[in-house]
Amino acid sequence: MSMWQVVLILAVVLPPTIVLVQGRRYDKINRKERIVKLSKAYIASIFVELLLFIISGVLGFFDYVGRFSGISGTLILFGPALLPIIASTILLAYYSEKETMNRKTLLLGFVLLLAIVFGTIFLFMATEGITNFVIFIIYSMGVAEVFSKIVKKVGKGEVLTGELSEEIREICRRYGVKIKNIHVLKDDKPYALVSGFGGKDVYVTEGLLEKLDKDEVIAVIAHELGHVKKKHLFKSSIIPIVAVTLAIIPMNLDLPVWVVISTVLLSIALIIYDFTVLRLKNEYEADEFAAKIAGKEHIISALKKLAEINEIPKDTPRWFDVMHSHPSIKKRIKRLEEMV
């Protein structure tokens, strides 16, 4: 076995092992501390993976990949890079949500991530030019809708009815928010989310309806409606599509090297902007929408209760906020309190 093969095996095995070991190490501590420590371990595992992957490439892996062409070459190149990241992500999710996540959900998440990542690679290698962009949009729409159906199926979701449903429907009519349905998931953990391409399916849990008062529930749902109104999920879906298209299409065309490098750098900049600025901004906008509809005192009290019940750290560093696509509870409350 050559040196590059040894290093490549380490690149695949070490990252998920780091998260697994740390997950077991911090298994008994409270969730607030656990998710911060596990998030640090996850970031460290990604850096380790990327470093070892590059070293293996320099030692001979990239030359080996050069023997192959088309989809097989792409899969051989990206497989060892992406598999450990996917495995580490699933382990992070499991140990962060160990109290509520079962192994069936864990396995389903792993399979879904594999299908999304390698399906994307296959599509871009099997098509060329503007076809990449069009097919990837259709593919992304399909993935988003399938994910929404899985959420409903796993959570045994039923359509929300009664007085609360009518109030939410009235809010939607008054503020021009278009949704399909509001579903109640059988989950004791209090939370809400929107899913589907463009975010037209709204989900709340039984735990949310039971553990928060009515005004707080409306405020939390209004936050999700804010995402729909502002088209946040649509924007978050389109930016990666544009970024990946910008990175790959020029590589298949006879263009000057400086043009190819420029488009790749632009695509990287778009992804960085999406995760470090736009997604955090989206949460602030959804909070402001909820405050406008339900009153800022109700969304603030809801945030405090959710943080306490779900053991979410209230004051977190920016790297943690970026990684989890949400500003800290402390920052969100401060911003709401400063609203006129």
State pLDDT tens for residues 2-33.
Answer: 999 999 999 999 999 999 999 999 888 888 88
Task: Please tell me the predicted confidence (pLDDT) of residue 295.
Answer: 93
Residues whose CB is less than 8 angstroms from the CB of residue 260 and which lie 6 or more positions away in sequence, other chains included: 250, 251
Task: Please tell me the predicted confidence (pLDDT) of residue 98.
Answer: 74
Asked whether 77 and 48 are in contact (CB, 8 A), the reply is no
Phi/psi of residue 42, nearest 5 degrees = -65, -45
Q: Which long-range contacts (CB under 8 A, 24 or more apart) does 1-10 make?
A: 2/59, 2/60, 3/59, 3/60, 4/56, 4/57, 4/59, 4/60, 4/61, 4/64, 5/56, 5/61, 7/52, 7/55, 7/56, 7/59, 7/61, 8/52, 8/53, 8/56, 8/61, 8/80, 10/52
Instruction: Please state, in angstroms and rounded to a whole number, the distance separating the CA atoms of residues 330 and 318.
Output: 12
3-class secondary structure, 200: coil
Tell the residue number behind the tokens 């969730």, with chain if given. 31
Report, as ranges of residue numbers, the positions in the chain whose pLDDT lies below 70. 70-71, 99-110, 113-114, 116-133, 135-137, 139-155, 197-199, 248-254, 260, 340
Instruction: Please state, in angstroms and rounded to a whole number, the distance separating the CA atoms of residues 205 and 221.
Output: 11
For 314, other C-beta atoms within 10 Å of its C-beta total 15
Task: Please tell me the predicted confidence (pLDDT) of residue 51.
Answer: 93
Task: Please tell me the predicted confidence (pLDDT) of residue 281.
Answer: 94
Reported pTM: 0.80
Asked whether 232 and 240 are in contact (CB, 8 A), the reply is no
Task: Please tell me the predicted confidence (pLDDT) of residue 62.
Answer: 87
Task: Please tell me the predicted confidence (pLDDT) of residue 198.
Answer: 63
Task: Please tell me the predicted confidence (pLDDT) of residue 249.
Answer: 67
Task: Please tell me the predicted confidence (pLDDT) of residue 337.
Answer: 93
- Shortest CA distance to 190 belongs to which of 227, 221, 236? 221
Instruction: Please state, in angstroms and rounded to a whole number, the distance separating the CA atoms of residues 117 and 71.
Output: 14
Tell the residue number behind the tokens 């579903």, with chain if given. 183
Task: Please tell me the predicted confidence (pLDDT) of residue 82.
Answer: 83
- H-assigned helices in the chain: 3-25, 31-56, 62-65, 70-96, 103-126, 130-154, 163-175, 206-211, 214-229, 232-248, 257-273, 279-294, 296-309, 318-324, 329-337
